Structure 1
Amino acid sequence: MTPLALGPQRIVCLTEEATEWLYLLGQEQRIVGISGYTVRPRRARLEKPKVSAFLTAKIDKILALQPDCVFGFSDLQADIAALLIRAGVQVTIFNQRSVDEIFAMLYQVAAMVGQAEEGLALLQTWRAELDAIAQQAASFKRRPKVFFEEWDTPHISGIRWVSELMGIAGGDDIFPELAVMPMGKDRIIAEGQTIVDRAPDIIIGSWCGKKFRPDTVAARPGWQDVPAVRTGHIFEIKSADILQPGPAALTDGLAQLHRIMAQWEAEHV
């Protein structure tokens, strides 16, 4: 039996990153169900049944697809995983929170579908691109202080891989102590004044599932003297591009971060 035949043939992906990765590996034929939040790649929404949200899933619909493997992400999907496991389904839940863990997760998925060499080649290309961006950023004469807002009410700062990518792109997270906290509830910023006091040069918003509104941020009481507000350096990166701990964050997400940081640095040399 070949290694390819040993891998799962009917896969349900409860989050987008596994779906995007399998498409990039040319293994989309194995996918029988996806998350309803999937937007990358766009064609997946047209080709695959949508069987889950993020915190909920249509268990009966998943079981009817007869998957031989389900991929999920984080402790937040533990209840879904438990129901499927009790129904006899193989479930693999990844919990990647850092850039290195994203690379590790992607390699494991590639290996599981018999694409270890192909996956490794792509990952090495992306790692080289990360290193090249980090080298460019190392030449910055000034590094901007950055506030990444994952949610607005309450204010939630960026998760670890976002903070790390900001650093690679040339900026410094103003809440590095919160970035290491894996759960959003532990990254809640208790007082808005704390953000003002840390005086970010750039504000980046990515409100998961909701459109980011720079004008609303700029109009917040007491924020008029925040450097980012004063100079108009308030940007959105779509959550699908940065809050998905997979290919999107390592490619499009990082590229957008670097453009924002490089633009600011060019204006302040």
Structure 2
Amino acid sequence: MMKPFSRFLVLTLFFILTLTACVSATPAVTPTVTETRIELPTATLAPTVVATPTLTQISATDGLGRVVTLDAPAQRVISLAPSNTEILFALGAASQIIGRDSFSDYPPEAVSITDIGSTWETLNLEQLVALQPDLVLAAGIQSPEQVKAMEEAGLTVFLVPNPVTLEDLYTNLEVVGRLCGREAEATALIESLKARVAAVDAKIAVVNQKPKVFYELDASQDPAKPWTAGPGSFHDALIARAGGINIAAGLDSAWAQMSLEQIVAADPDFILLGDAKWGTTPESVAQRPGWSGLRAVKEGRVIPFDDDTISRPGPRLVDALENLAKILHPEIFK
């Protein structure tokens, strides 16, 4: 059975380190949309009216700097990452998804879509081709070599750029919406997300005291030196935007281990358990040697947190921001 740490590495270090790490990813590029209109001569016999057909090509630059062109919005889409799957569902394009990777488990309806397996190390090109997609949506978990192999197999592949900010996320939503013929839905979704973020910003603007936060990603390897999210991660950015101080913000990398001595010295007001999905509980944290004296433990502020909402750079990043703000400042969200 895969150890919790290994499972975490699959879901977080590859989905985030390469994509939501929020610092080293390739910036999203605003797509360029080119329309080519073909007009046929109108018949001279009145009163017959002949419709003028239009062929619209959609071109956008992906996360690898490749210009990808579709002759028409994609109706058969394969998603190779959970973030892409969540974006498609949020855009109302669920019926257009004909295949998804094994880790795409949200929303629950996603599990009913054809599972093409894990896309971390290998891709089943034969199965991908057999599904006859109009478009394959890749992500940072796929290597340039894998993208090239899919192209050589005759597939049209768009690697969704790694978002660095929430604004980059909005651009990704717009791009995917155009590629799949869901422009109106993308516009509505983006405006809704922006409004929710603005509401949080307005409430947090009046906050005077910012609590210290330790966000635990995984402690299965060494409970005395758990993995956490440092500078450049969405975890760090959203904690700050939610009115908190990430005690790991001064580390050298976005993903690093933090010693118990460092945690004790910082004495966080909150401990958020991003590894709750793998069985870590407030009770188990309190039982760790040296942890019972921490302020967060003594005052009952060790709280499980759904790490998928931050680890997957999709619309649920805004859910994560709202939840963080409510946890850190319950007094202004009553």
Name the TM tier (shorter chain): 0.7 to 0.9
2:259 is the alignment partner of 1:188: no
Number of equivalences: 257
TM-score, with structure 2 as normaliser: 0.69
Mapping 1:120-199, distance limit 5 Å: 120-152=187-219, 153=221, 155-158=226-229, 160-178=233-251, 181=254, 187-199=255-267
Distance between the aligned counterparts of 1:128 and 1:83, measured in 2? 41
Cα-to-partner distance string for 1:53-85 (whole Å, 9 max, x where unaligned): 3514433322221223221221x3215434323
2:322 is the alignment partner of 1:255: yes
1:157 touches 1:189 (CA, 8 Å); kept in 2?
yes
Distance between the aligned counterparts of 2:55 and 2:106, measured in 1? 30
Where does residue 10 of structure 1 map in the other structure? 76
Distance change (3 Å), C-alpha of 1:149 and 1:81: farther
Distance between the aligned counterparts of 2:294 and 2:119, measured in 1? 34
Distance change (3 Å), C-alpha of 1:15 and 1:208: farther
Distance between the aligned counterparts of 2:120 and 2:282, measured in 1? 28
Q: Which runs of 5+ in 2 are unaligned?
A: 1-53, 59-70
Q: Of 256, 272, 275, which aligns to 1:204?
A: 272
Where does residue 63 of structure 1 map in the other structure? 129
Where does residue 50 of structure 1 map in the other structure? 115
CA deviation after TM superposition for structure 1 residue 21, in Å: 2.0
Mapping 1:220-231, distance limit 5 Å: 220-231=288-299
Bigger radius of gyration among the two = 2
Distance change (3 Å), C-alpha of 1:114 and 1:17: same
Distance between the aligned counterparts of 2:178 and 2:251, measured in 1? 33
CA deviation after TM superposition for structure 1 residue 148, in Å: 1.2
Where does residue 304 of structure 2 map in the other structure? 236
1:150 touches 1:157 (CA, 8 Å); kept in 2?
yes
Distance between the aligned counterparts of 1:179 and 1:117, measured in 2? 42
Where does residue 40 of structure 1 map in the other structure? 106
Cα-to-partner distance string for 1:210-264 (whole Å, 9 max, x where unaligned): 233222222222222221112111111223333211011212x22221221123x
1:97 touches 1:245 (CA, 8 Å); kept in 2?
no
Distance between the aligned counterparts of 2:129 and 2:138, measured in 1? 15
SS of corresponding position for 2:142: helix
2:111 is the alignment partner of 1:111: no
CA deviation after TM superposition for structure 1 residue 131, in Å: 1.5
Moved over 6 A (4+): none
CA-atom RMSD in angstroms: 2.5
- Report the identity percentage: 26
2:216 touches 2:275 (CA, 8 Å); kept in 1?
yes
Q: Of 85, 100, 115, which aligns to 2:167?
A: 100
Q: Of 262, 283, 287, which aligns to 1:215?
A: 283
Distance between the aligned counterparts of 2:119 and 2:267, measured in 1? 34
CA deviation after TM superposition for structure 1 residue 143, in Å: 1.2
Distance change (3 Å), C-alpha of 1:246 and 1:82: same
Mapping 1:68-83, distance limit 5 Å: 68-74=134-140, 76-78=141-143, 80-83=146-149
